[in-house]
């Protein structure tokens, strides 16, 4: 990137349908005093950070070549990280199709200058930030999410907080 060149803060994600989003938001309200806004609930596949227009174009073209199979994700576990004080919703079993999608996306993005996180992929939906003591517990009734697409989204800072705008969608299968 050249200094002064416009950039966008981007990420690839799984975007919940309205019913799954409502279930996640309800759970977040039950377990967190200040949940993430319902419109921002998602599961990140790859965080891209600040990217130039050219990098965005390269990554969009790369994502269009990614193939994967639809799958069901059973979100059945509340977890958290004491630092950075995050409460999240995850799956006790991550489907092979999700792991394969993340690997395919990371591979496709490499020629565009993307370097994936070195830590193992942790599939989760952030429910709240700045949580004093994140809970860790299994859920009696999992939130079932039929995943049949992935998206490119932009994180936009506003006076009212962060908003996520969907830029593009790609079907699975």
Dump the DSSP string for 73-110. EEEEEEEEETTTTEEEEE-SS--HHHHHHHHHHHHHHG
pLDDT at 83: 82
Token output for 112: 């565009």
Residue ranges of the chain with per-residue pLDDT less than 70 = 1-4
pLDDT at 94: 95
Q: Which residues are catalytic?
A: 42, 124
pLDDT at 66: 97
pLDDT at 82: 82
pLDDT at 161: 86
Can you tell me whether residue 148 is helix, strand or coil?
Answer: coil
pLDDT at 3: 63
pLDDT at 2: 58
Q: What CATH code is assigned to 7-72+94-121+147-171?
A: 3.90.1140.10
pTM: 0.92
Q: Give yes or no for a contact between 154 and 9, defined as CB atoms under 8 angstroms apart.
A: yes
């Amino acid at each position: 990137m050249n200094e002064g060149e416009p950039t966008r803060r981007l990420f690839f994600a799984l975007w919940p349908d309205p019913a799954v989003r409502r279930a996640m938001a309800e759970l977040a309200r039950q377990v967190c005093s200040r949940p993430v806004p319902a419109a921002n609930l998602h599961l990140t596949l790859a965080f891209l950070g600040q990217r130039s227009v050219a990098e965005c174009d390269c990554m969009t073209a790369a994502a269009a070549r990614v193939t994967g199979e639809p799958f069901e994700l059973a979100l059945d576990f509340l977890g958290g990280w004491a630092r950075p004080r995050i409460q999240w919703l995850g799956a006790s079993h991550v489907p092979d199709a999700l792991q394969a999608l993340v690997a395919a996306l990371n591979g496709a993005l490499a020629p565009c200058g993307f370097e994936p996180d070195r830590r193992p992929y942790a599939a989760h939906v952030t429910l709240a930030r700045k949580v004093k003591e994140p809970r860790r517990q299994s859920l009696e009734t999992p939130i079932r999410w039929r995943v049949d697409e992935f998206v490119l989204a932009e994180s936009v800072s506003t006076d009212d907080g962060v908003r996520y705008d969907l830029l593009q969608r790609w079907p699975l299968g």
